[in-house]
Amino acid sequence: MNKIILTGYMGSGKTTVGKELAKLLSIPFFDLDQCIEREVNLNINEIFETKGDVWFRKKEHDLLKSFIQQKESFVLALGGGTPCYANNHLLLKSQESHSIYLKATVQTLTNRLSNEKQNRPLLKNLNIDLPTYISQHLLERSFFYLHAHHSVSVDDKTSLDIANEIIDILKTNPLSAS
């Protein structure tokens, strides 16, 4: 059984790698933000505007817990902020799932996010330059990301390369039977 949770900063490739990994393993892929969007029939920007940050973080926490408790295999991509709230970083340490931190440099993240500012709630109304913001924000969030069982560098790699690297990690670090 494989329950794989991908975490990392926005733009690190959680969704892209997650889909590739799920395809290679023939298991379902889920994106936590998309699951929440479907459940309330609003996009992330609308959820933050209408229901607020606290509501979103509670929903996110509850959904993450329910995924971890599932018996079936899956790949789950978390939102970039998920580990940073409601002690979700501690859930990444669960022995019932594999958590993988997709680690990217500030330069990689800047390159990937520079054209996506309007689609990202945290970047939408940014008043400082993007590399500075990412650098500061990544420093704050790294503590939470590093609670994942494993880290994989994503710089200068394809999603297929990263997915195969994760599969190698899973082969050498199987979940212990409970």
pLDDT tens, position by position, 34-64: 999 999 999 988 998 899 999 999 999 999 9
Percentage of the chain surpassing pLDDT 70?
Answer: 98
What would the pLDDT profile of 140-167 be if each residue is shown by its tens digit? 999 999 999 999 999 999 999 999 999 9
Q: Specify the pTM.
A: 0.94
177: in domain: no
Q: Is 29 helix (H, G, I), strand (E, B) or coil?
A: strand
Question: Per-residue pLDDT for 176 more than 70?
Answer: no
Quote the domain boundaries for residue 151. Answer: 3-172
Provide the pLDDT for residue 78.
98
CATH number of the domain that 162 lies in?
3.40.50.300
Please name which of 65, 63, 74 lies closest in space to residue 3, comparing C-alpha atoms.
74
178: in domain: no
Contacts of residue 74, Cβ cutoff 8 Å, sequence gap at least 6: 2, 3, 4, 22, 27, 28, 29, 30, 67
Classify strands 98-103 and 150-153 as parallel, antiparallel or unpaired: parallel
Separation between Cα atoms, residue 123 and residue 175, nearest integer Å: 37
> What domain count does the chain have?
1
24: in domain: yes
Separation between Cα atoms, residue 49 and residue 150, nearest integer Å: 34
Q: How confident is the model at residue 125 (pLDDT cuts 50, 70, 90)?
A: confident
How long a stretch of residues is the chain?
178
41: in domain: yes
Provide the pLDDT for residue 45.
84
H helices of 8-129, in order, are 14-25, 32-40, 44-50, 53-69, 88-91, 106-113
Phi, psi of 125 (to 5 degrees): -115, 40
33: in domain: yes
Q: Is 83 helix (H, G, I), strand (E, B) or coil?
A: helix
7: in domain: yes
Separation between Cα atoms, residue 117 and residue 23, nearest integer Å: 29
